[in-house]
């Protein structure tokens, strides 16, 4: 029902993670964007900010809710997807292209899930 | 006889039976017996006639003045008849916050119109739907500017002392350091502000015209703040913006102020109206309700409360402000006032207030009431020396039905508006002359 | 319908002021704005009609039943408005000498005494302009109290998970960290959980009682005791005071300070979102920390005083004074008999309406309620895809303002209904019929309900578009 690319890693809190030129790329999964509904704004950190594994680094706003986005790694924000500031709907439309941040100097990484494990997490939440 | 409760004793009994009870006491069985109230120590209820007499007597125990030369944060302006007539409509009076847009387009549209007018007046991009008063608007503006590495705020000592006090209260609990720069000759020295700016300064707050009526060198202060990477907050008198350069024109980030002069009576201090406008870049940090335009499913224009994810009911402990109820009806009052006045009327109010104040200052100056602000430009207030005890002078004026200016540091802070006609000013001056001669 | 600006025509307007009768002062050009603000230029008749049209598109208490939970939308007596409009109040400058404002000070002093009696408090400030502002002020009292004792460790405020959003937001503003206390199965405070979190870092607890599900917490004395034993103070959020006035007092329940929403409990109108008034009362031991100034009376003369260890000011002057005039007028009218009657009437009306709906709507708690009750559309949502929102929107077609939706957060698909005491039995009967009829419609044609409302000025607005691309002011084409 939800798209879960096999080449990505996942967190239990519904972020996807990939590696790209030594940077850790973080975004929201298809299940996450569906559960959040129409995203109207994303609060993003600034380049140079520190993120901590297991701590929120961003939040997404829908009309009547706000939800934290958690970092699976500890490190420094190297890039921020500024397109999302003007067009947060990109996360709804193509969640695996609409990355949120890229992190460098990663010192710690949470245990990540593979696609199969993550699908099981989603299935459990769906009840 | 009911006190706004329609149910007759028989109906009440029938309703109790319908829910399986026999007495209203049983509704409170859940309350621990040890704390049930036996009887309130209050007077017995009164008929409407008696209440009317009692409260009217309280109103009459106050002395009101036709001729008012007192400002200092609350201003006596003419209120067009249409303003009161519109804002006392029961639909506007008795509605709640417009959560249900489909049956609240009237209130929502009026707020949208208010927001537009406040943006026009201040030259800014975005306005909220109001906060409690000018002082809390200033305090909320300071909190808007908080960044991770920039906390402190520099406040002009020439701002209204009550505004400074409220800023201090709000900042103390958020551990925001506040530095107040003493006023020199009734004005803020841009160099003194520049000297205090650091990498930790989040914002500078200056009032313009300031508490002493002086038109500050806000452009210089704004430049200094921006060069240091701090935000510039200006507190403005909305009437003055009929003439004066706008916060938008001199590059402020946030404009706030007390909206009372826009059609709200003095009312012993409230309800008043805090307005807040800002540059687009700060839109999402703006506290309070904001109304936006959208469409319904048929494509019709519609107005809704928007950007709500900033607010306390969604963001809870992470919200940057706790504001819920605001001053909506006061905002509507300001909006009707501005529409009734129009651009020409507003300019006329500002021009008459300015001119009356300068006429009075000149007349008083001839009689030894020297301007403490020297030759600095001022709007409709000014602080003078007072050759006699200001309290004694005010008492004499009160005997003649005149409310004199505010005693400040041995001098008097005077205010004129369009309501203080030349004849009224001349009468004031002649009485002042008499008192000084005694 | 047109905006004010779309009705504007250059050159129109009214002559409201005489020409300036002294030489016009010219300010240097560099101090003046470059162009006039684009305010509408509009004739008085057009202005008048504009707002008459807006009024027709506004639903107030006077337009129909308004059972908006936690907002206490009772009738706003007209005598209260008339009294607040007396020139002896409206023309009063807040900085006049005290001998000329004795009547106004007596209003504040008398209102303070009456409201302290109703809440079981000893002193009060009227400076807070709304409920949330009152919460903030009350929390600053708690902060000042602990500071005065050198107790810097008390940094946490306990807030039940059923609380209004203002509670945690106010706690943050007052410099505290929020600790959530879970609710028990009856919607009350979970005592074990409370005992677990209450400790040497507890500054205080914020609580509404009755709580946000409309139930009086029978453990209230134990709750306040647990917090006091831990060295914390208890803050009463007066949002739901309309249920218990004259029956039980926050002060007697163990609360140390309280805010009251005059615009809810004491019948002053909401004005489309304000002005309200959120006076804060406290026990004597907190009075020295109250905002300045306070009204004091000596030998029949009223004066202003600065409390010894004041927190400063939370607003200019004395708060929303005219709102206090309205509330005082209301209290004088009701008196010691009418105040408990009003609350009992509110509780009776809520229970009566709940009973009429309980066969078909799922009540969150099957027990007598206080002044409001919460029902859940979760069963309908699962079975037929009809949500609380759908029911609410269909109510609009019948001229009923919907209940509060999706609050409290601990109840899914919540509708929170507060009829108030000023509604008649017929109104409640009619409303019950409409609520039931809508449920019939939902069962027959669930899809149809998603399209509601049908008879309002607009249909459901596109809130996503509004938030994604904010248009927050009119711009001339």
In chain C, what are the domains? 79-334 (3.40.640.10), 336-463 (3.90.1150.10)
CA C343 to chain A, closest CA, distance in angstroms equals 33
- Find out whether C266 and C237 touch, Cβ atoms under 8 Å: no
pLDDT the model gives residue C100: 97
CA distance B274 to B331: 9
**Residues B360, B299 share a domain:** no
- Tens of pLDDT, residue by residue over B186-198, are 999 999 999 999 9
Residue A3 lies in a domain: no
CA–CA–CA angle A75, A79, A83 (5° rounding): 140
pLDDT the model gives residue C409: 85
Is the Cβ pair C467, A89 closer than 8 Å? no
At residue B2 the predicted structure's pLDDT band, cuts being 50, 70 and 90, is low
Q: How far is CA B216 from CA B198, B219, B257, B416, in A?
A: 22, 8, 15, 19
Cα C283 from chain centroid (whole Å): 23
At residue B387 the predicted structure's pLDDT band, cuts being 50, 70 and 90, is very high
Interface probe, candidates B309, B318, B320, chain A, greatest A C-beta count within 10 A: B309
CA C405 to chain A, closest CA, distance in angstroms equals 11
Residue B408 scores a pLDDT above 70: yes
**Residues B109, B73 share a domain:** no
**Residues B427, B298 share a domain:** no
From the list B284, B308, B318, the residue facing A64 with the nearest CB is B308
Instruction: Give the residue from chain B lying closest to C317, CA to CA.
Output: B269
At residue C93 the predicted structure's pLDDT band, cuts being 50, 70 and 90, is very high
Q: How many residues does chain B have?
A: 438
Q: How far is CA C305 from CA B267, C296, C311, in A?
A: 21, 7, 13
Residue A80 scores a pLDDT above 70: yes
Is the Cβ pair B61, C87 closer than 8 Å? no
Q: Does the CB of C464 have a partner CB in chain A at under 8 Å?
A: yes
Domain coverage including residue B379: 67-78+342-437
Neighbouring C-beta atoms of residue B131, cutoff 10 Å = 33
Is the Cβ pair A41, C406 closer than 8 Å? no
CA A87 to chain C, closest CA, distance in angstroms equals 8
From the list C54, C59, C172, the residue facing B110 with the nearest CB is C54
Residue A127 scores a pLDDT above 80: no
pLDDT the model gives residue A63: 86
- Tens of pLDDT, residue by residue over B344-386, are 999 999 999 999 999 999 999 999 999 999 999 999 999 999 9
Instruction: Give the residue from chain C lying closest to B308, CA to CA.
Output: C467
Q: Which residues in C lie closer than 8 A to residue A63 (C-beta atoms)?
A: 463-464, 467
- Tens of pLDDT, residue by residue over C71-92, are 999 999 999 999 999 999 999 9
CA A40 to chain C, closest CA, distance in angstroms equals 5
**Residues B179, B323 share a domain:** yes
What average pLDDT does range A11-17 have in this prediction?
95
Residues 27-56 of A with CB under 8 A from C: 38, 40-41
**Residues B309, B179 share a domain:** yes
Q: Which residues in C lie closer than 8 A to residue B43 (C-beta atoms)?
A: 332, 335-336
**Residues B354, B330 share a domain:** no
Reduced to 3 DSSP states, what percent helix, strand and coil does chain C have, rounded to the nearest 5? 40, 10, 45
| The last residue of a domain, from among B315, B335, B355 | B335
**Residue spans of alpha helices (H) in C210-273:** 220-229, 250-253
Residue B196 lies in a domain: yes
Residue B257 scores a pLDDT above 50: yes
Q: Which residues in A lie closer than 8 A to residue C464 (C-beta atoms)?
A: 38, 40, 62-63
ipTM: 0.98
Q: Does the CB of C406 have a partner CB in chain A at under 8 Å?
A: yes
Residue B29 lies in a domain: no
**Residues B249, B178 share a domain:** yes
| The last residue of a domain, from among B317, B335, B353 | B335
3-state SS, residue B156: strand
Q: For residue B366, give the CATH number of its domain.
A: 3.90.1150.10
CA distance C154 to C143: 8
Residue A22 scores a pLDDT above 70: yes
Residue B1 scores a pLDDT above 80: no
From the list B284, B307, B314, the residue facing A65 with the nearest CB is B314
3-state SS, residue C168: helix
Q: Does the CB of B315 have a partner CB in chain A at under 8 Å?
A: yes
**Residues B263, B138 share a domain:** yes
Q: Which residues in C lie closer than 8 A to residue B345 (C-beta atoms)?
A: 13-14, 16-17
For the whole model, what pTM was predicted?
0.96
Is the Cβ pair A63, B308 closer than 8 Å? yes
Read off φ and ψ for residue B175, nearest 5 degrees. Answer: 55, 45
- Tens of pLDDT, residue by residue over C315-338, are 999 999 999 999 999 999 999 999
Domain count, chain B: 2
Question: Of B92, B112, B263, which Cα lies nearest the Cα of C53?
Answer: B92
Is the Cβ pair A40, C406 closer than 8 Å? no
Instruction: Give the residue from chain A lying closest to C462, CA to CA.
Output: A63
Q: Which residues in C lie closer than 8 A to residue A38 (C-beta atoms)?
A: 464, 468
From the list B309, B315, B318, the residue facing A41 with the nearest CB is B309
Q: For residue B199, give the CATH number of its domain.
A: 3.40.640.10
- Tens of pLDDT, residue by residue over B39-68, are 999 999 999 999 999 999 999 999 999 999
**Residues B86, B74 share a domain:** no
Cα C170 from chain centroid (whole Å): 14
CA–CA–CA angle C123, C120, B27 (5° rounding): 150
CA–CA–CA angle B154, B156, B157 (5° rounding): 125
CA B99 to chain A, closest CA, distance in angstroms equals 12
Q: Does the CB of C378 have a partner CB in chain A at under 8 Å?
A: no
**Residues B259, B394 share a domain:** no
Is the Cβ pair C467, A40 closer than 8 Å? yes
**Residues B412, B314 share a domain:** no
> B66: alpha, beta or left, given left = phi > 0 and alpha = psi -120 to 50?
alpha
> What b/e readout covers C198-208, taking b as 16+ CB neighbours within 10 angstroms?
beebbbbbbbb
Q: How far is CA C418 from CA B8, C230, C369, C397, C431, in A?
A: 20, 35, 11, 19, 12
- Tens of pLDDT, residue by residue over C170-183, are 999 999 999 999 99
Is the Cβ pair A38, C464 closer than 8 Å? yes
Instruction: Give the residue from chain A lying closest to B149, CA to CA.
Output: A49
3-state SS, residue A110: coil
**Residues B330, B348 share a domain:** no
Domain count, chain A: 1
3-state secondary structure B265-319: CCHHHCCCCEEEEECHHHHHHCCCCCEEEEEECCCCEEEEECCHHHCHHHHHHHC
Is the Cβ pair A41, C463 closer than 8 Å? no
CA distance C7 to C349: 45
| The last residue of a domain, from among B314, B335, B356 | B335
Tokens linked to B224: 């200094």
Q: What percent of chain C has pLDDT over 90?
A: 96
Domain coverage including residue A25: 9-126
At residue C54 the predicted structure's pLDDT band, cuts being 50, 70 and 90, is very high
- Find out whether C389 and C452 touch, Cβ atoms under 8 Å: no
B231-236 and B254-258: which strand pairing?
Answer: parallel
Interface probe, candidates C49, C58, C158, chain B, greatest B C-beta count within 10 A: C58
pLDDT the model gives residue C187: 86
Residue B248 lies in a domain: yes
At residue B313 the predicted structure's pLDDT band, cuts being 50, 70 and 90, is confident
Q: A with C: how many residue pairs have Cβ under 8 Å apart? A: 15
The tally of CA atoms less than 13 A away on the side-chain side of residue C279 is 34
Instruction: Give the residue from chain A lying closest to C406, CA to CA.
Output: A64
Q: Which residues in B lie closer than 8 A to residue C32 (C-beta atoms)?
A: 243-245
pLDDT the model gives residue C151: 96
Tokens linked to B425: 């000013």
CA distance C423 to C271: 20
From the list C1, C269, C312, the residue facing B93 with the nearest CB is C269
CA distance B5 to B401: 45
CA C420 to chain A, closest CA, distance in angstroms equals 27
């Amino acid at each position: 029902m939800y798209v879960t690319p096999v080449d990505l890693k996942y967190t239990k809190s519904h972020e996807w993670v990939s590696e790209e030129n030594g940077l850790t790329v973080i975004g929201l999964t298809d299940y996450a964007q569906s559960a959040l509904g129409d995203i109207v704004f994303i609060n993003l950190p600034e380049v140079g900010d520190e993120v901590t594994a297991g701590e929120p680094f961003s939040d997404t706003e829908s009309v009547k809710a706000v939800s934290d986005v958690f970092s699976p790694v500890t490190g420094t924000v190297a890039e921020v997807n500024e397109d999302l500031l003007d067009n947060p709907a990109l996360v709804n439309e193509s969640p695996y292209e609409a990355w949120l941040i890229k992190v460098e100097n990663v010192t710690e990484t949470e245990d990540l899930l593979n696609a199969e494990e993550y699908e099981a997490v989603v299935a459990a939440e769906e009840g | 006889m009911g006190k706004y409760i329609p149910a007759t004793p028989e109906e009440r009994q029938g309703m109790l039976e319908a829910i399986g009870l026999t007495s209203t006491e049983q509704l409170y069985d859940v309350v621990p017996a040890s704390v049930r109230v036996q009887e309130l120590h209050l007077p017995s209820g009164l008929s409407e006639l008696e209440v009317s007499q009692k409260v009217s007597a309280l109103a009459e125990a106050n002395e009101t003045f036709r001729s008012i030369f007192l400002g200092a944060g609350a201003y006596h302006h003419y209120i067009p008849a249409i303003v009161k007539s519109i804002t006392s409509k029961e639909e506007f009076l008795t509605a709640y916050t417009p959560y249900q847009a489909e049956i609240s387009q009237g209130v929502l549209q009026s707020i949208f119109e208010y927001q537009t007018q406040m943006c026009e007046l201040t030259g800014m991009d975005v306005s909220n739907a109001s906060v409690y008063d000018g002082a809390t608007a200033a305090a909320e503006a300071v909190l808007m500017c908080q960044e991770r590495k920039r906390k402190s705020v520099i406040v002009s000592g020439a701002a209204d002392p009550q505004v400074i006090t409220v800023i201090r209260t709000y900042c103390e609990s958020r551990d925001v350091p506040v530095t107040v720069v003493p006023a020199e000759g009734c004005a803020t020295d841009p160099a003194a502000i520049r000297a205090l700016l650091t990498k930790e300064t989040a914002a500078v707050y200056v009032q313009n015209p300031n508490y002493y009526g002086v038109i500050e060198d806000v452009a210089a202060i704004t430049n200094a703040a921006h060069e240091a990477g701090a935000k510039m907050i200006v507190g403005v008198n909305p009437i003055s913006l009929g003439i004066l350069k706008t916060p938008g024109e001199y590059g402020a980030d946030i404009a706030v102020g007390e909206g009372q002069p826009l059609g709200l009576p003095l009312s012993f201090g409230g309800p008043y109206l805090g307005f807040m406008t800002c540059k687009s870049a700060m839109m999402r940090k703006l506290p309070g309700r904001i109304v936006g335009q959208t469409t319904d499913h048929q494509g019709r224009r519609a107005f809704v409360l928007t950007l709500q994810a900033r607010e306390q009911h969604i963001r809870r402990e992470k919200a940057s402000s706790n504001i819920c109820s605001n001053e909506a009806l006061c905002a509507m009052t300001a909006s009707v006032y501005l529409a009734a006045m129009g651009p020409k009327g507003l300019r006329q109010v500002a021009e008459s207030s300015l001119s009356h104040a300068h006429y009075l200052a000149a007349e008083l100056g001839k009689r030894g009431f020297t301007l403490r602000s020297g030759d600095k430009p001022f709007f409709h207030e000014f602080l003078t020396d007072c050759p006699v005890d200001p309290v004694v002078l005010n008492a004499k004026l009160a005997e003649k039905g005149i409310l004199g200016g505010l005693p400040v540091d041995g001098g008097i802070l005077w205010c004129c508006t369009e309501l203080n006609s030349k004849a009224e000013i001349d009468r004031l001056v002649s009485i002042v002359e008499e008192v000084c001669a005694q | 319908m047109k905006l004010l600006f779309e009705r504007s025509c250059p050159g129109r307007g009214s002559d409201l002021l005489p020409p300036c009768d002294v030489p016009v002062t010219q300010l240097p050009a560099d101090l003046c704005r470059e162009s006039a603000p684009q305010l509408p230029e509009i004739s008085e008749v057009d202005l008048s009609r504009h707002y008459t049209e807006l009024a027709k598109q506004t639903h107030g208490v006077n337009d129909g039943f308004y059972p908006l939970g936690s907002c206490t939308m009772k009738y706003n007596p007209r005598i209260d408005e008339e009294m607040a409009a007396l020139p002896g109040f409206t023309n009063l400058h807040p900085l006049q000498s005290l001998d000329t404002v004795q009547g106004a000070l007596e209003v504040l002093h008398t209102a303070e005494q009456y409201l302290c009696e109703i809440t079981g408090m000893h002193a009060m400030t009227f400076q807070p302009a709304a409920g949330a502002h009152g919460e903030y002020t009350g929390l600053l009292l708690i902060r000042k109290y602990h500071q005065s004792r050198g107790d810097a460790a008390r940094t946490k405020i306990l807030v039940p998970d059923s609380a209004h959003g203002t509670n945690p937001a106010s706690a943050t503003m007052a410099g505290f960290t929020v600790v959530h206390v879970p609710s028990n199965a009856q919607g009350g405070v979970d005592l074990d959980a409370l005992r677990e979190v209450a400790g040497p870092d507890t500054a205080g607890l914020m609580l509404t009682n009755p709580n946000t599900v409309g139930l009086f917490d029978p453990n209230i004395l134990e709750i306040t005791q647990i917090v006091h034993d831990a060295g914390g103070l208890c803050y009463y959020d007066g949002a739901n005071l309309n249920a218990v006035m004259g029956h039980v007092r926050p002060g007697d329940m163990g609360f140390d300070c309280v805010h009251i929403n005059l615009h809810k409990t004491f019948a002053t109108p909401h004005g489309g979102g304000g002005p309200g008034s959120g006076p804060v009362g406290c026990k004597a031991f907190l009075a020295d920390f109250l905002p300045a100034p306070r009204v004091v009376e000596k030998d029949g003369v009223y004066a202003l005083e600065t409390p010894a260890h004041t927190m400063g000011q939370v607003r200019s002057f004395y708060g929303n004074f005219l709102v206090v005039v309205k509330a005082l007028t209301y209290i004088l009218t009701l008196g010691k008999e009418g105040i408990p009657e009003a609350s009992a009437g509110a509780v009776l009306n809520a229970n009566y309406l709940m009973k009429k709906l309980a066969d078909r709507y799922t009540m969150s708690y099957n027990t007598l309620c206080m002044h409001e009750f919460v029902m859940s559309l979760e069963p309908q949502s699962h079975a037929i895809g009809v949500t609380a929102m759908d029911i609410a929107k269909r109510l609009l077609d019948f001229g009923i303002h919907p209940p509060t939706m999706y609050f409290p957060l601990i109840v899914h698909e919540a509708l929170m209904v507060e009829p108030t005491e000023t509604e008649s039995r017929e109104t409640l009967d009619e409303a019950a019929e409409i609520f039931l009829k809508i449920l019939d419609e939902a069962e027959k044609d669930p899809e149809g309900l998603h399209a509601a409302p049908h008879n309002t000025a607009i249909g459901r607005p596109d809130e996503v578009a509004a938030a994604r691309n904010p248009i927050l002011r009119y711009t001339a084409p």
